[in-house]
Structure 1
């Protein structure tokens, strides 16, 4: 298994209508899952000097995640998101000007060579974190871009720039349509993206319809099991993405990546929130995959 994975972006608290708070942020969720699977990622993010920030540090330490890339911001608060569920689908109200918007590249720990870089979209909304990301981007060996568009916190210019620098991309069908409105079909849009720059592989998720993995001239597809129990879909895409990244860095074949990513995402939608704090939740996958 490849060990040198750097995760850049937001860590925050998802706050549900009943007042329940769950750890969140796509990069954090991916890092949390990867840690459970033994990949030991380095999370580069930023939290405030507040109770929520301290709670994140405590949770990370309990999960044996390194704090080397977690910066402390004395001005801006730890990130929060109000989550509401409409017909089972999450809707997000994302607080602006949080600590993760001000990630400082001068505070990066030593990164080593030949690392994989994972990032999403949200932490690119602010010029400070975006500038720090650009500095990190130039050092990465391989880049995995998890497109997670949250209105109004993205622009086509920023997303297209990130796409042009990435080798691997994950997005859903709605995001694909938003980014490529000029194309009449999914296949045309995918082919257009794959024909550009350095992009080698696109993973397209479609909820209940499953997911597809595209490379030049090839497509593999998988559907979820029909007996999947759904508590909420918060973090389902992050769960899928974490296993895709694990598989890519471990040289699994594409069909196996899809199969395992779908199985894990189906398990995560059966719990409240994006991650489980119970190590036993991960054990069946660790044993089945022989990690």
Structure 2
């Protein structure tokens, strides 16, 4: 994946788009794949976002917001009879908890014939939440096969949101993935191994990778920082302290977007991580996960 070809082509982002509904009445546009696509656009990439919304006010608002942010709308499906995704968010000392409504439009993402040639896209990104719906799971699985056939690398972002996660999805999620991202708590749960130190995290990744696949792992550790692990090589970047901590909603998605941006620019892992933890800290100064403030995306 050369730098010139990667920057010329669009990353393909697939999965949920929804509104985060906060206790104080605020509604903020979100969903991990949507946040990643939005932030990639801010970072001067040209993502194609594939998802589904309802034929309702929230769906129309999402379409308008994407257009205002100059995002490609070709992959956004409107499904009459399905409601646009909603998550009830509550905060305890800045840490979010979620009540995710089911079913929603993004559980019914239809197949899209997007991979027409080996150079169609620079990268395929998807998470894990959208796999809860059988239709979306089939669509994402099909896109994964098409990406593999076209030699397009796949970036998998594991976001465990109980009860919407099933270990049986792991072959779909991880097998043949070039890049896998998850946090230290998710790694500990999935590997059944402690993940407190560098050596423990390395061993847990190696054990999980031996069982399920994946090549390069990005492990986020909250305020401590993040790792990139390839083979037995471990790279670490300490997280900077946010200027003003507002909340951590979307920080992991910001990390994923900045990581993908760095990978598409063919940066070394240390620089990829340094930029990604810096950008994630910047997201923590916002209410929610997205912004139209171009200054947030400068000088990462």
Give TM-score scaled by structure 2 length. 0.90
Does the alignment pair 1:166 with 2:153? no
For the 8 Å contact 1:164–1:196, the answer to whether it is kept is no
Hey, what's the Cα distance between the residues in 2 that align with 1:227 and 1:118?
Answer: 27
Give 3-state SS (helix, strand or coil) of 1:195's partner: helix
C-alpha deviation, 1:195, in angstroms: 3.4
C-alpha deviation, 1:282, in angstroms: 1.7
Hey, what's the Cα distance between the residues in 1 that align with 2:202 and 2:295?
Answer: 39
The ranges of structure 1 where at least 4 consecutive aligned residues each deviate by more than 6 angstroms after the TM superposition are none
**Out of 69, 74, 90, which is 1:84 matched to?**
90
Give 3-state SS (helix, strand or coil) of 1:93's partner: strand
For the 8 Å contact 1:11–1:24, the answer to whether it is kept is yes
For the 8 Å contact 2:242–2:281, the answer to whether it is kept is no
For structure 2, the residue ranges without an aligned partner over 5 or more in a row are 1-6
Does the alignment pair 1:124 with 2:131? yes
Give 3-state SS (helix, strand or coil) of 1:284's partner: coil
For the 8 Å contact 2:115–2:146, the answer to whether it is kept is no
Hey, what's the Cα distance between the residues in 2 that align with 1:145 and 1:84?
Answer: 26
Does the alignment pair 1:282 with 2:297? yes
For the 8 Å contact 1:35–1:65, the answer to whether it is kept is yes
Bigger mean CA deviation after superposition, 177-186 or 7-16: 177-186
Does the alignment pair 1:153 with 2:164? yes
C-alpha deviation, 1:86, in angstroms: 1.4
Q: How does 1:51-70 map to 2 (within 5 A)?
A: 51-70=57-76
Q: Partner residue of 1:176?
A: 187
Q: How does 1:20-59 map to 2 (within 5 A)?
A: 20-59=26-65
C-alpha deviation, 1:165, in angstroms: 2.8
Q: Partner residue of 2:23?
A: 17
How many residue pairs get aligned? The number is: 284
For structure 1, the residue ranges without an aligned partner over 5 or more in a row are 286-291
Hey, what's the Cα distance between the residues in 2 that align with 1:283 and 1:270?
Answer: 15
Q: Partner residue of 2:153?
A: 142
Hey, what's the Cα distance between the residues in 1 that align with 2:262 and 2:21?
Answer: 31
Hey, what's the Cα distance between the residues in 1 that align with 2:276 and 2:118?
Answer: 27
Q: Deviations over 1:127-168 (max 9, x none)?
A: 110001111111111100001010000100103431113110
